[in-house]
Amino acid sequence: MPERTVVIASRTGLHARPAKIFVEAAARQTTPVRIRVGDGEPVPANSILAVLALGATQGTRVTLDADGPGADAALDALADLLSRDLDAG
């Protein structure tokens, strides 16, 4: 199963606006994507409540995984998104 590990760049982490942007982008992917913090349990990346519950702050290292057609492209797109400051308007 392909994975990507990325450090959260947004000043507020995966909270409020950045979480909404990330979850909406995950929902648009053609394959389900999961996200986890450290060795924690992976949660659906398209669930706002699950993503907020991760408590990922700026600088937190998260791992994305997906399986199926388009997994690599989905992971690349979402990892790129998380590596940018989504708080910057």
Active site members: 15
Give me the helix-helix angle, 16-27 and 71-82, nearest 10°.
170
What torsion do the CA atoms of 15, 27, 32, 16 make, to the nearest 10 degrees?
0
Helix boundaries (H) for 1-89: 16-27, 48-53, 71-82
| Pair 32, 39: CB distance under 8 Å | no
